[in-house]
């Protein structure tokens, strides 16, 4: 069951309507998971600094059990998420950060996690 969290400094009015639904569908396609098992949260209007700047930005965290087996798969997933984000949010490439999709161990579900951008 993938969990996807999109944090952005964009005000709610600049976040495209229906973004959460499109992000859910994109996540299902990218990770080869059923759409009805994907959970998406979109938070807008946050105070954020990305790459040392407070200009509009976004960060995507993806957690899922058994999704990534190799670095190559991780690069492929990340590239597709990055393409989705920059297109949907109309942000420059240097204004988006991805927390690469990675395995979420079953014992960690429901526990606080450390967010690390790799």
Residues 14, 49 contacting (CB under 8 angstroms): no
Tens-place pLDDT, residues 54-85:
999 999 988 887 776 666 777 788 888 889 99
From residue 36, give the alpha-carbon distance in Å to each of 15, 79, 95, 99: 23, 23, 30, 22
From residue 62, give the alpha-carbon distance in Å to each of 13, 49, 103, 108: 24, 19, 9, 14
Residues 86, 96 contacting (CB under 8 angstroms): yes
* pTM of the predicted model over 0.85: no
Higher pLDDT, 46 or 2: 46
Task: Identify the bridge partners of residue 41 per DSSP, sorted by sequence position.
Answer: 5
Average pLDDT over residues 6-27: 97
Mean pLDDT of the residues in the chain = 82
Higher pLDDT, 117 or 78: 78
Domains observed in the chain = 2-114 (3.30.429.10)
Least Cα distance to 56 among 5, 12, 101, 1 occurs for 12
Window from 11-20, 32-41, 73-82, 93-102 with minimum mean pLDDT: 93-102
């Amino acid at each position: 069951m993938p969990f996807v969290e999109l944090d952005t400094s964009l005000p709610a009015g600049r976040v495209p309507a229906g973004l959460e639904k499109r992000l859910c569908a994109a996540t299902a396609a990218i990770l080869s998971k059923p759409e009805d098992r994907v959970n998406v949260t979109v938070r807008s209007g946050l105070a954020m600094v990305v790459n040392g700047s407070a200009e509009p930005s976004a960060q995507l965290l993806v957690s899922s059990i058994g999704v990534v087996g190799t670095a190559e798969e991780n690069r492929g997933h990340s590239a597709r998420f990055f393409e989705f984000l920059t297109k949907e949010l109309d942000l420059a490439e240097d204004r988006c950060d991805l927390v690469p999709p990675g395995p979420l161990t079953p014992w960690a579900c429901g526990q606080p996690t450390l967010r690390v951008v790799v």
